[in-house]
Amino acid sequence: MIEEFHMFAAIVEHSSMNKAAALLNLSQPALSRKLAKLEEEIGAKLFERVGKRLELTRVGQLTYEYAVNLRKLHRRYMDSVAEYTAAGRTSLTIGASLTTLQTTLPDFIKTLNASHPEFDIKAVTGKTHEIVSLVRDNKVDIAIIASTIEDSQLHCVPLFDDHLLLVIPTSVAVTNQHALSIEDVNGLPMILFSKGTWYRKLTDEVFAKHHLQPDVRMEIDSFEAIVRLLHTCRAATLLPHSYMRKQLLADNELVVVPIRELEETKRTTCLIHNDPSDLHPAVRRWIAELGQ
């Protein structure tokens, strides 16, 4: 059918059966037969003859619009195939939720580049539900999200478990800081991540479960900004364990205070993807390795 629609578009764009036939390297009778076959399959006339001119019917106008869109889609498809097979490179688009963008994605891409230098990696970010939709619509190949999902269309590969940590500046004097309980967070000055992510929802669930009302000084959508402001504002925060590094703590004069209840706030970071047959074989093999 692609060939028939290409033929029809050529007739419309050249306003002549003769010119279209020459362009397509067909005889005019052969082109007329192809047009008649297309009209038969659609079930409607595509042209009306007005004198010596061909004019599109309403169905013909709709069909031409469709043919143009089909041609563009086919070109994009062929370009993608060419990119897919060129020079042994494999294009891989990764989606990342706002949390995993800051905690997991940098190390993930670094490791992936080291083990699979043939991958050309692109990244797309957004909120978790937005990233899941992109995977479902095949607009990204795989995605990393800070939670598990139940979706019959998607595959979910667990990567690791994560939990919250209480982080405070070393300048803040805390009595018996190695024996704090969750109740000590009540009334504590804090800088929190902005609302709308799984991480903030998890934080609010902890506050609600233990009837806590911290003194929230700021809400920011960047872990890096939060970390830099803690010492200046003499405030605490709750951050994912996966984000914390010894050097990060040392550079910003921060310390992690262990609290048993926070270790129970587990979330599983997962890799998700759509139908495996849509993935490049090299990507499928790599995902299989992750699951082992």
For 37, the enclosing helix (H) or strand (E) is helix 28-42
Report the amino acid identity of residue 274. N
Instruction: Report the alpha-carbon angle 60-61-67, nearest 5.
Output: 85
What pLDDT, in 10s, does the model give residues 7-19?
888 888 888 888 8
pLDDT the model gives residue 179: 61
The C-alpha atoms of residue 3 and residue 178 are separated, in whole angstroms, by 73
Sheet of 142-145, strands arranged across: 119-126, 90-97, 142-145, 267-273, 155-162
pLDDT the model gives residue 31: 87
The residue written with tokens 């992750």 in the block is 290
pLDDT-based confidence at residue 83 (cuts at 50, 70, 90)? low
Residues of the chain with CATH 1.10.10.10: 2-85
Please tell me the pTM assigned to this model: 0.60
pLDDT at 52 over 80: no
Average pLDDT over residues 220-245: 90
Residues of the chain with CATH 3.40.190.290: 164-265
Listed residue (79, 119, 131, 138) closest to 285, CA to CA: 119
Please tell me whether residue 268 adopts helix, strand or coil conformation.
strand
What pLDDT, in 10s, does the model give residues 244-291?
889 999 999 999 988 989 988 888 999 999 988 888 787 888 888 876
What pLDDT, in 10s, does the model give residues 105-159?
888 888 888 888 878 899 999 888 899 999 999 899 999 998 888 888 899 999 9
Query: How many residues comprise the chain?
Result: 292
Is the domain covering 164-265 a CATH 3.10.20.340 domain?
no
pLDDT the model gives residue 175: 47
Is the domain covering 89-161+268-290 a CATH 3.40.190.10 domain?
yes
Contacts with 227 (C-beta within 8 Å, 6 or more apart), sequence order: 167, 237, 239, 248, 252, 254
Residues of the chain with CATH 3.40.190.10: 89-161+268-290
Q: Give the fold, CATH level 3, of 2-85.
A: Arc Repressor Mutant, subunit A (1.10.10)
Quickly list DSSP for 93-149: EEEEEHHHHHHTHHHHHHHHHHH-TTEEEEEEEE-HHHHHHHHHTTSSSEEEESS--
